[in-house]
Amino acid sequence: MTLNPLANTNQKKIAELAIQHGLPSICARSDYAENGCMMAYGPGYGTEGKDGARYVDKILKGAKPADIPVEQPMKFELVINLHTANTLGLTIPQWVLFQADKIMQ
């Protein structure tokens, strides 16, 4: 799932349509799982702002944008919406549940 304003404002509708058509959905941010997506796996909501602020700080201190290395997220968050999984008739394996940062009933 791409992160864009259109998708962000229609999270519940996207999740409802996926469930209606029997499709498990895996999204990139936890707020999607909170709104019905079956799973979310990504760097966590809100990290974009912090990352962007670090880049702006470096540029304001004189760094050339072309010289700043691309950074990868250091931590990823796994959120599982068990209600959605159950609605779809799916069982999430125990080993996956153990790795989850957050499980929504």
For residues 95, 99, 101 and 105, what is the CA-based torsion angle, rounded to 10 degrees? 0
> pLDDT, tens digit, for every residue of 3-51?
578 888 888 999 999 999 999 999 888 888 999 999 999 886 666 667 7
Beta bridge partners, 80, equal 39, 103
| CATH domain 5-45+74-104 topology | Rossmann fold (3.40.50)
Question: Rounded CA gap, 70 and 60, in Å?
Answer: 17
Q: Record the pTM.
A: 0.76
54 band by pLDDT with thresholds 50, 70 and 90: confident
Helices (H) and strands (E) in the chain, counts: 6, 4
Mean pLDDT over 67-84 rounds to: 89
Task: Give the pLDDT confidence of 77-86 residue by residue, as tens digits.
Answer: 999 999 999 9
Domains of the chain by residue range = 5-45+74-104
3-state secondary structure at position 100: coil
- Position 88 scores a pLDDT of 97
